[in-house]
Every structure is written in C-alpha cells, then in structure tokens.
Amino acid sequence: MAFSSPISPSYSSHLSSKHVKANKTKFSTINKINSFPLIQRSPFLKVDFSSQWERGKSSKFSINAAVTSKEYSLDGALENTQLPKGDCWSVHKFGGTCVGTPERIGNVAEIITADQSERKLVVVSAMSKVTDMMYDLIYKAQSRDDSYITALDAVREKHKLAAVDLLDGDDLASFLSKLQDDVNNLKSMLRAIYIAGHATESFSDFVVGHGELWSAHLLSSAVRKNGVDCKWMDTREVLVVNPTSSNQVDPDYLMSEERLEKWYSKNPSKTIIATGFIATTPQNIPTTLKRDGSDFSAAIMGALLKAHQVTIWTDVDGVYSADPRKVSEAVILKTLSYQEAWEMSYFGANVLHPRTIVPVMQYDIPIVIKNIFNLSAPGTMICRSSGNEYEDGQKLESLVKGFATIDNVALVNVEGTGMAGVPGTASAIFSAVKDVGANVIMISQASSEHSVCFAVPEKEVKAVADVLESRFGQALSAGRLSQIAVIPNCSILAAVGQRMASTPGVSATLFTALAKANINIRAIAQGCTEYNITVVVKREDCVRALRAVHSKFYLSRTIIAVGIVGPGLIGGTLLDQLKDQTAVLKEKFNIDLRVMGITGTRTMLLSESGIDLSRWRQLLSVKGEMADMNKFVHHVRGNHFIPNTVMVDCTADSDVASHYFGWLHRGIHVVTPNKKANSGPLDQYLKLRALQRQSYTHYFYEATVGAGLPIISTLRGLLETGDKILRIEGIFSGTLSYIFNNFTGSRAFSQVVKEAKEAGYTEPDPRDDLSGTDVARKVIILARESGLELELSDIPVQSLVPEPLRSSASPEEFMQQLPQFDQQLAAQRQEAENTGEVLRYVGVVDVVSGKGTVELQKYSKEHPFAQLSGSDNIIAFTTERYAKQPLIVRGPGAGAEVTAGGVFSDILRLASYLGAPS
C-alpha cells in the first residue's frame, strides 16, 4: 500500500539521501517542461507500507520526499529578489470565524484589496470548525472508527462548496484538483493511523494543518479574482520553531528569517496569503504553534518583516474592560499596553495569547484588534504605553484598564510552623506540583512563611493534593506541617492596569467595592510591578464581584436588585415613583434599580430580569404566587449578575422587622419606614446596629421618624461633627399636627378628628394615632440615636383616647362615641387660649436627664410650634452649638407621597454608597 501527501521542500533534509538523489532527474525534467510558474504546488511525501500491516504484524515503512520548486522564470533560473522590510508591510490575521463561509472569505478578500498599504502579508486560519473536524478525524482513525472516511468527505465537501461559490475557471479547477489529491493522501494516512491505532504528534499536526492550507489557497484565489496579484505561502516552508516540554514552541527567528528571504526570492509579491497555526521544527518535522497559533504566526511574521502594524481580525469590536457576557456595561478599550494585554490574556480575557505579544514588543509593532463584521468600530490598539495620562485635560481611561476572571479553580493551602525559616520548603512544594504536571495559576505566601497557598485548575487539584500528602507525609506526621487543605469551587478575579503602579488607593478601592458587595476574599496576590491585583473568591460570587469592581472603577451603572415588602399605600406609591424615575436614573445618574420581587402577606410576584413597573398591579394580580418570605428573599438576591441587593420593608409589621438581622448578615441592605425594629426590645436593637456597623451592609431608616424630612441624618450630622445633643423636642405626628392646628375656636375635638379621618390623614382606626404610641416609637428611636439605652416602656405617653373608648369594638363605634368626651379637651384649649397659648402634642427626648416623654403641652403663639399649618412636622434640636437658638427642621411629615419619597431617597443614598456618582 502506498500514499502521498504534501510536505514542505525543507523536510527532505532529514530523509534518506538516496531517495532524494533518485528523484533529482525526475524534478529536473518537470521543471524544464513547465514554461510558466507552477500553481502553488506542494512537494510530496511518499510512505510505503508492506502488506504485513494488513496481517496485523509489525513492519517498517519508509518515507520518500520529492522536492519541487515553486516558481521559476521562463529559462528556469531563480528570481533572486531581495525581501524589503519595514513600515511598507502591514500584517493581517483572519481567524476561522472570519473565513467561515464563502461569503465571508469574499469579504476578507475585499478588505485585503481595500488596504492601501504598500505591501501586505495575510495570515489565515482554517475555516470555522475545520480544525476541530480534522482533530476528530484523527481521534476516529486511532479509535478504529470507520466513520473517519465519511467525516473526511464532509470536510472535502465543505471546501468544495466554498470553492464553487467563490472561484471559476482555472482557479476553481486547480483548487478542486489539489483538494481531491490532498483528501486521497489523507485517507491513506488516516488508514495507516487506523491500522496502527495510534497517531504521533507530528502526524497529527500534519493532518490538522490542511485546514490552513486550503483556506489560504481559497483566499489567495479570491484576492486574485479581485485583480490583485498575490502568492500564497505554506508557512511550514518559512517558520521554524523548537518544541518545548510545556506543550509550547519557541520560534527560531534567525532560521525563519533566512527561510523567509529565500521563499520571497522565489515568490516576490506585494500581497502574500500565509497559513497560520502551522510550522516546522529545525529537523523539518511538521508541527503547529499550539493554542491561538494563527495569532502567534501573525506576530512572528510581523516581527520578521518589521511591519508597521499587525491587525487581528475577529468577531468582536475590540478588547472589553470585562467579559460583556457578564458585565453588560463593559466598554471597548481604545488602547492597551503590551503589559496590560499580556496580563489580561493570562487571566482568560478574550484578547490574545500572551506569547502572541512577545514577537512584536521588541520592535514596538502595534497590534490592532478589529471586528470584521463591524468595520466602523475603531477597535483596540495594543502598543507600548506612551505614559500620557491626560488628553485635552481629561483622564483617558480608568486606572484599572480591565478585569478578567478564571473559573473552576481550587486553592491549596500548605500550612505549618515548621515551614518558617526553613530553606527550600516552597521549592519542594512546587517541585512536587510540577511532577504531576499541574499548572499553578497564582501563589500567595504569608510573610511569616507559616503558610503557602496557590491556585490550580480544579481538575488537577486531586493529583496535587495526593502528591503533596505523599511527599510531605513525614512532615505531617511529625507536626512540622499542620495541614494540606484544599478549598474547591473558587474563581480568580484579576484587575489589570499599568497606571495602577504607584497610584495610592487602587487596592483600597478594589477591596472596598468587594466588601460592599459582601464578597469574601480567600486569597490575594499582587506583583511588585503593580500591573495586576489578583483575588480569589467563591465561584458563586465571581460574577457579582466582577460587576461590583467594574462599576466602581468605570462608573458603569450601579445595579441594585430591589425587593419590595408591602405593596400597600406607601409601598404602592414607592413603586409608582420608581416607575416614573427609572429611565432618568439610568440615563443621568447611572443607577439601575431593578425590582426583582414584590410581596404582600398573601401574594408575591417574582421576576428574573426586573418587573415591568408600568403594570405591576396587574402582574401581581394575574401572575402572583403564594407568598413565601424565604423564597422571596432567595430569589431577589439570587441573581449573580447583580452585585447588590436591598430589601425595602414598607410595612409596619414587627414580624417582617424581625428578618432584618438575618438579611444584613447575608449582605442584603435594608431600607424601611417601619419603626418596629428600632423601637423594639433594646437588646435586639443593639445587636442589629452592631452588625450593621461591623459590616459593609447598609441599614437606612430615615423615614421612620420624619417621613420625608431629614431628621435622622440631621441628628447624625450633629453627633458625627462632635456636637452634643441636649434636647430634642418636636411634633412628630402629621395626623396630630393637623388635628391641633385645626382645633381652634368653637370647633369640637371629635369634629376635627372626623375631618382628618375623611381626608386620609389618620390610620383606618384613629385610635392608632390618638394613642400616642407612634410618637413614642419615634421618640425612642431618636433617644437611642442620641446614645440613650431606653426601652419603649420607659417613655410615659399621654393618650388622647378616652379610657372608656379604648376597648370599643370598632373604629366606627369609637367615632360615634367620641363626641361624648369633647368637653375635657375643650376645657384645656380654653385654658391655653386664656393665657395666649396653643395646645400641641409633642415628643421630647431630654438627653441630659436621660428621659423621654410624649404629652400634650402648651406653647405661646409666638413659638415655632404654634406657627404650623396643615399636617407639618417640626423638630427642634437643642445642642451645645445650638443652645440659644435650636436647630429646627420643619416640613410635611405625613402622607404616602412624602413617606415613599423618604424611602426612595434612602435607596438613592444606598446607590451612592455602592458606587453611583453623587
């Protein structure tokens, strides 16, 4: 059995000399017959197998090589044209997606034709999916799966259809003939692999490389069809690489340069279409450039030609600041330094393989990433950093250029007191890891040398742990090492930026952003170059962490998942306010508030992407499900693409308030007008506040005291700036403010209460307002904010509900009987009027004496408390700074609109703390 397959002329040097000599006469005859340049014709490799292979016996086979010259002048003499180098050359690389269909190959040909560069070298990959198909052929053949034959026919058909679509005439006939010859040769070689049940690496590389040969041939023919003279290059004749032990190759630039000059002397052209991915060893054995080999090919060719630019054409607009599939606000980076691109690609960003950057760095050749499907996009330029931080007086880009992640890693922690000060411990650890072929992605060592931790791919961690336990078994038994621990299910997040170096605060900003998103960091590493900061987090937190840090550095939208508890009067009004402001917040303030869930006592509505607030009432009614608080909270917080979550409790329910501690503990922020948590049992309040202060989780409750008025924030501002609170006194109830502002002249108290109820100022049961309990809760909140540790029971409250009516069966019955008790309050009013005073229902916090009261008091008509109208609240702060003239806050203190507005304000304050621009 015999078959032939194309191979480079240079391969002959390692073959039997007698075979070469035997064929010299034949080639001389061929060259004399051809009076025109040969169409890109490869030499042939001939492998003869004895019939013993068919009988299953081992046998030797010989490889014969025949060398044909590629291009000759009419008299058969070589054209000795010197290869020009420098800025006249531009190098383009088109990946498999770019040449995936005949139409796309035609588009590539047009781009090449339109390039105004004096000289062009184009590196092309195999058509989309072809490389995988070729590897599958080898797998099937060595697995003795007969379907490799039909699979190869499918590969041939793919290229045949592309050629028929693209070419015509002699170009088409030439390609189809060459394609069929190659397929026949491959079938013979795959048959040999099928029989042997094994394929060597060089045989595999040889088979796989045909995808690039065919696409280069197709593209060169398409370019010629556009009227541009070009040649195509089998880069196995030019690129020489030395395989290394790490499944990589090192280019031999000197030998490659010599071969390139020799190739060009025979094939002078201003446009060259070259195969990517494939090369040869110094021993002329076919090989590949391994991962991202076509990009590497382009960079090497750019360096050999000293080109002015290497353009990598792909299917994205450029390099993003983060994976756009995980961070929708990721931006295209205009420029990257070589070092930044190197770092980002190492950590898995879709940029370039790190080795691609090396060849061009030494000649300062920029690499441009362009989108073949969006020619108007400027792309990203990778070049030497200019060092200019500002352009037109403004910062060019963020200190951190980009963020990248690596998933599915595990941490290995080797710990023990016996490691400290012992030379060679780290060497022994990583020597053992090397022995099992594991890839160490990141290393972190405590300065005390007490522990060393490092990250490896999760699929390799068991082998690493086993070899370490075996190698250090004696040290573990003796106690010199305390443990070798594996922490699975981790991800690595890297922040990369050349301007990070020597800039204070970058690490602090990064870690603060992670802390505010409630992300726990398992390990940290930062090189002395400061080009990257690497952290290890739980895999489940990786996307939230990525979004949190990207938002902080790029001021992209601060996205907050919102859960609304209690869609009643206040909650419903808040939802309507959110609906009206959502678009404005996104456009002007980069705040994206997504209501992921709404729950009442019986029904809840959940959404994966955010509820349509224009019809939330209808959706809650039609699509609502049975309320379940645990399920509700898990859903709202469960979207890993949203780093921050807030629960907004718009109820007055103590049971809902009891969840606050658990929510804060899980990293869920809380905003509420519900007074029950802060006025409840003192020990629970202190525990809640201690947790909130110790974490980066926020708890905002401005609306618990003054609805939309800044009462809590004013008090905190005074305390935080060193002022001392002496007394807080105020009218805290909008309902009671309205009643006593209108309880004048001859009007009966019951009549005014009835008006207030009909106007919607009171609770459904007016006794809830008249009892003074609500005011007492506000007083206890302010007392605790001022540092007093008081229980609600410590506050004496004067109730305005007559004793006999406190047990009335219904609000209606209460209102019917209230007029019977008007006389008592009428007498008090008359007494006040006789002395030029008015009645006001107030709450008082006397910080000096450590007491609080809620009662009806008299004030002169000149007093600010007597000047109120409507349902206004007023609070006076008497402090050491404001001793003579109290600091007064006044405004509407009741109503769904202002209370919901106060809650909304707290949500926006939370967004500001989480990174939104203020």
Question: What pLDDT is stored for residue 44 in this prediction?
Answer: 33
**Per residue in 641-694, pLDDT tens?**
788 999 999 999 999 999 999 999 999 999 999 999 999 999 999 999 999 888
Instruction: Note the pTM of the prediction, 2 decimals.
Output: 0.67
Query: Which residues neighbour 246 within 8 Å (Cβ) at sequence distance 6 or greater?
Result: none
* Strand, helix or coil for residue 366: coil
Do residues 338 and 566 make contact, with C-beta atoms less than 8 angstroms apart? no
Question: What pLDDT is stored for residue 589 in this prediction?
Answer: 86
**Rounded Cα gap, residues 854 and 733, in angstroms:** 11
At residue 74, does pLDDT exceed 80? no
Q: Which helix (H) or strand (E) holds 165?
A: helix 148-166
Query: Which residues neighbour 333 within 8 Å (Cβ) at sequence distance 6 or greater?
Result: 318, 319, 320, 321, 380, 397, 401, 402
**Rounded Cα gap, residues 701 and 434, in angstroms:** 56
Question: What pLDDT is stored for residue 51 in this prediction?
Answer: 32
Question: What pLDDT is stored for residue 22 in this prediction?
Answer: 36
Q: Which of 732, 740, 736, 739 minimizes the C-alpha distance to 780?
A: 732
At which residue do the structure tokens 């650890």 appear? 429
Q: Which of 632, 627, 499 minimizes the C-alpha distance to 563?
A: 632
Per-residue confidence band for 61, with pLDDT thresholds at 50, 70 and 90 = very low
- Give whole-number Cα distances, 355 to 65, 295, 296, 564, 647, in Å: 33, 9, 7, 51, 48
User: What CATH class has 89-314?
Assistant: alpha beta
Q: Which helix (H) or strand (E) holds 429?
A: helix 425-435
Q: Could you tell me the two tokens for 37?
A: 């340049």
Rg (CA), the chain: 39
At residue 425, does pLDDT exceed 60? yes
Mean pLDDT of the chain: 86
- Half-sphere exposure in the Cβ direction for 186 (13 Å, CA): 27
**Rounded Cα gap, residues 518 and 667, in angstroms:** 5
Burial environment of residue 105 by CB neighbours within 10 A (0 to 12, 13 to 18, 19 or more) = buried
Average pLDDT for 93-111: 95
Average pLDDT for 782-803: 95
Query: Which residues neighbour 64 within 8 Å (Cβ) at sequence distance 6 or greater?
Result: 15, 16, 19, 23, 45, 46, 47, 48
Q: Could you tell me the two tokens for 774?
A: 């609500």
Question: What pLDDT is stored for residue 15 in this prediction?
Answer: 33
Question: What pLDDT is stored for residue 552 in this prediction?
Answer: 82
Instruction: Measure the CA angle with vertex 575, ends 573 and 577; round to 5°.
Output: 70
Q: Which helix (H) or strand (E) holds 32?
A: helix 17-33
Q: Which helix (H) or strand (E) holds 258?
A: helix 253-266
CA 578 from centroid of its chain's CA atoms: 27
Average pLDDT for 729-753: 92
What is the DSSP track for 669-717?
A: EEE----TTTTS-HHHHHHHHHHHHHSS--EE-THHHHTTS-HHHHHHH
**Rounded Cα gap, residues 310 and 91, in angstroms:** 5
* Lowest mean per-residue pLDDT among 64-73, 134-143, 145-154, 718-727: 64-73
**Rounded Cα gap, residues 668 and 699, in angstroms:** 9
Per-residue confidence band for 449, with pLDDT thresholds at 50, 70 and 90 = low
Domains 400-554 and 558-706+906-914 share a fold: no
- Give whole-number Cα distances, 69 to 41, 181, 255, 567, in Å: 8, 19, 19, 83
CATH pick for 558-706+906-914 out of 1.10.357.10, 3.30.365.10, 3.40.50.720, 3.40.50.1980: 3.40.50.720
User: What CATH class has 400-554?
Assistant: alpha beta
Per-residue confidence band for 201, with pLDDT thresholds at 50, 70 and 90 = confident
At which residue do the structure tokens 């996009």 appear? 377
Phi then psi dihedrals of residue 63, to 5 deg:
-115, 120
Do residues 889 and 874 make contact, with C-beta atoms less than 8 angstroms apart? yes
Do residues 347 and 131 make contact, with C-beta atoms less than 8 angstroms apart? no
**Per residue in 289-305, pLDDT tens?**
986 689 999 999 999 99
At residue 805, does pLDDT exceed 70? yes
Per-residue confidence band for 80, with pLDDT thresholds at 50, 70 and 90 = low
Burial environment of residue 603 by CB neighbours within 10 A (0 to 12, 13 to 18, 19 or more) = middle
**Per residue in 16-47, pLDDT tens?**
333 333 333 333 332 332 322 323 333 333 33
At residue 702, does pLDDT exceed 60? yes
Per-residue confidence band for 411, with pLDDT thresholds at 50, 70 and 90 = very high
At residue 423, does pLDDT exceed 80? no
If one counts every other C-beta atom within 10 angstroms of the C-beta of residue 622, the result is 9
Question: What pLDDT is stored for residue 883 in this prediction?
Answer: 93
Residue spans of beta strands (DSSP E) within 392-460: 394-395, 402-415, 442-445, 451-457
711-893 has CATH 3.30.360.10 classification: yes
**Per residue in 495-511, pLDDT tens?**
998 888 777 888 888 99
Question: What pLDDT is stored for residue 871 in this prediction?
Answer: 85
Per-residue confidence band for 78, with pLDDT thresholds at 50, 70 and 90 = very low
* Domain ranges across the chain: 89-314, 400-554, 558-706+906-914, 711-893
Average pLDDT for 310-333: 89
Q: Which helix (H) or strand (E) holds 463?
A: helix 461-471
Higher pLDDT, 530 or 31: 530
Of 158, 290, 676, 778, which one is the catalytic site residue? 778
Residue spans of beta strands (DSSP E) within 742-850: 837-846
What is the DSSP track for 68-119?
A: --S---TTS---------STTEEEEEE-TTTTSSHHHHHHHHHHHHH---SE
**Rounded Cα gap, residues 433 and 764, in angstroms:** 72
At residue 915, does pLDDT exceed 80? no
Burial environment of residue 707 by CB neighbours within 10 A (0 to 12, 13 to 18, 19 or more) = buried
Higher pLDDT, 278 or 527: 278
Do residues 876 and 888 make contact, with C-beta atoms less than 8 angstroms apart? yes
Do residues 627 and 600 make contact, with C-beta atoms less than 8 angstroms apart? yes
At residue 55, does pLDDT exceed 50? no
- Give the helix ranges, DSSP H, for 167-242: 169-196, 201-208, 210-225
If one counts every other C-beta atom within 10 angstroms of the C-beta of residue 9, the result is 19
Higher pLDDT, 890 or 589: 890
Question: What pLDDT is stored for residue 448 in this prediction?
Answer: 60
**Rounded Cα gap, residues 159 and 134, in angstroms:** 13
Q: Could you tell me the two tokens for 494?
A: 């890297």
**Rounded Cα gap, residues 608 and 596, in angstroms:** 7
Looking at the chain, the whole-number percentage of residues with pLDDT higher than 90 is 65
Instruction: For residue 368, give the amino acid letter.
Output: V
At residue 893, does pLDDT exceed 80? no
At residue 247, does pLDDT exceed 80? no
Question: What pLDDT is stored for residue 818 in this prediction?
Answer: 93
In sequence order, what are the beta bridge partners of 583? none
Looking at the chain, the whole-number percentage of residues with pLDDT higher than 70 is 87
Q: Could you tell me the two tokens for 301?
A: 């060719």
Question: What pLDDT is stored for residue 809 in this prediction?
Answer: 78
Q: Which of 899, 908, 311 minimizes the C-alpha distance to 650?
A: 899
Per-residue confidence band for 708, with pLDDT thresholds at 50, 70 and 90 = confident
User: Among this protein's residues, is 861 annotated catalytic?
Assistant: no
